[in-house]
Structure 1
Amino acid sequence: MPTTPESIGISNSRFRSIRRLGPPIGDPDPTLEATGEDYSVEPAGERWPFRALLDVGLIRTTTGNRVFGALKGALDGGLDIPHSDKRFAGFSKESKQLDVDVHRKYIYGGHTLTEDGPEKYQSHFSEYIKRGLEADNIEAMYKKVHPAIHADPSLKKSEKKQPKEHKR
């Protein structure tokens, strides 16, 4: 089972956002376990968490949109971002509660297309399948990779060859 993002391909947006954030900025002891529960950073003595605002730009703010997944990752990483749980995946309008289990399932990729469209699943997750990862193993893989990224967030650059000269 892969333990680094490079073993899957850095095109995975979850890994890119974790690497971009790097080590936690605000909270000296962030959550490394994604439980789906709300995690708010409180000031610790004279240290205040880094405060940021969510600017979604032109993205539609529908419930469960991936921008709210990025928001949840930033919150778990120790940033202080004013927010509401209403747009997280798993929020029920009827009960006005966030279903933590559904949210956790979305964090770990448990909502993949295995039953809905096997052909689409094969095309979207071809890199995972090549490396022996099935939908059942994705959560375990993320649990191994998250601490590894927090331990060493530096990106290993690959060797690139020079482009050949084109004649005009």
Structure 2
Amino acid sequence: MHFNRAAENLATQKHDDVFVSAKKIHRSSTFKKQKKKVNMAFINEFIPEADIKKYGIEEVNKKYIAGGTNSDQWTIDRDRDVYLRCVARGRDEFRNESTWTLYWERELITIELHLLDAGGRRGESGWAHWKLHHIYIPPHLEARRNDILTDLKNSLTAYKGGGVYARNTEYSVTLDV
């Protein structure tokens, strides 16, 4: 079947507040760029070499822990250019304390979290209860604090307590601010 006819046969579909009508798009002689509201999920991945340079990861690494951090993974929403990355973890009696960076609106926000509790076995649902100890939001973004906290919670949920090494099927996060 010809592509345009196949497109005409498609019904209007709804997906996460995005309406797509293939019939309208393919029959139109003038295509106007449509603004879509898409909520791309955060994903866990090892940081690609090209992104290490693009985001200045090596410079960021030097700022955390004596000698720098060696975290080579992140939780990223590529469509929105937002990422979360753990850059320091406490040891011994401080093992539940961690420092993170959240790249948001082209700004690097530093976050200090305390893990109050967590649970879940491999291959099953998991959960974590975090307490926000401190967040360093640039003054020009302070009015968007709630948006930042929403993205922090969503990215922590996607992180699943282990990033690329996470083995939970589903995950939920409680974030006390």
State the TM bucket, normalised to the shorter chain.
Answer: under 0.3
Report 1 or 2 for greater relative contact order, CA contacts < 8 Å, sequence distance ≥ 6.
1
Using the size of structure 2 for normalisation, the TM-score is 0.23
Using the size of structure 1 for normalisation, the TM-score is 0.24
Between Structure 1 and Structure 2, which shows a larger proportion of helix residues?
A: 1
Between Structure 1 and Structure 2, which shows a larger proportion of strand residues?
A: 2
